[in-house]
Amino acid sequence: MSLFSAIYGTFDVIVSSFISLPYPTADASIKQQTIIVTGANTGLGLEASRHLVRLGVDKLIMGVRNLQKGEDAKRDILASTKRKESCIEVWPLDMDSYDSVKAFASRAATLPRLDAVLANAGILTPTFSIVADNERTIATNVVSTFLLCLLILPKLRQSAEQFSVVPRLVIPNSALHYMAPVKELDVKEGEIFKTLNDPKTADMAGRYPLSKLLVLYAVRELADRTKSSQKPLVVINTPNPSYCKSGLVRDVDMGFSERMMERMLPRSTEMGSRALVHGVLSGVESNGQYLSNCHVHTPASSVTNTKGKRIQKSFFNELMGKLENIAPGIMSDV
């Protein structure tokens, strides 16, 4: 992390707080679409789901850890949009479990069509713990997220061929990636995950920003690789909803300055969700891009400079190897 990037990231958060995002609109084609939103029962996922149902999506799949909370959120959305109950289904999804992710993706493969996935589920925690074989923030925000996306990729391509659409994979990001410490990434080839999983050296204060930097690396690399494929295009982008009242920091013990910032700066959850819906509705110009305030935006120098490009390829190769071990054959569709 350079000093300039840290200053720019802070400036971006402050300025974005005063920018009103465009209210989501969509053309008539959304009325035939099926869209998945994970982490859909609360915060940004809930409000993004509400917008998509309001816009007329034919079928919304809400991926949630707690089915009762998911059903409560479903009723809330239906009450506010006056849509029929059949337009929403609630499916179980635990991003801490690779088996749960694989079961969810297998079920998604049985859908008549699938047009977009908003992989919104994520965590921010200051506590180091291991889930499966990774530190929990990395497991949830990165490994499970891309496991889900790549397992669902064949279904998205099938829908592209059958219905002449350009499907989308959308993974939320954060301006905090500008402040992500890269020390744990600048290691020997093949040792990034090993370093991130070491409780003795783990920088948990910077772990959430780092997870969003890793998402950017993987989105850019995946977009580059799938663009060169002969298979139908699936757009993948990573929008930043900025600092929102979303419940993400509920596990963080905040000091006085952080509490003051939380009162003064955050966007409403609904406002932030507009950025995510924009990612879902964006066209091919957003492929592989970081989006902020509903526009393509230049990411941190730790993404675009020579060192960042080297780390990106090294990390992506490690990630793909890990995913291949979790779900053999997953890379055959990339």
| Residue 159 amino acid letter | S
**Are the beta carbons of 170 and 124 closer than 8 angstroms?**
no
Token representation of residue 24: 């989501």
Looking at 155, 212, 243, 290, which residue is catalytic? Answer: 212
Q: How far apart are CA 120 and CA 169, in angstroms?
A: 10
Looking at 98, 155, 178, 208, which residue is catalytic? Answer: 208
Q: Which residues pair with 92 in a beta bridge?
A: 64
What are the DSSP E strand ranges found in the chain? Answer: 34-38, 59-64, 88-92, 116-118, 130-131, 134-135, 168-170, 235-240, 290-292, 295-297
212 catalytic? Reply is yes
59 catalytic? Reply is no
**Are the beta carbons of 243 and 209 closer than 8 angstroms?**
no
Three-point CA angle 261, 264, 265, nearest 5°? 75
Question: Phi, psi (5° rounding) for residue 38?
Answer: -95, 155
**Residues with catalytic function:** 208, 212
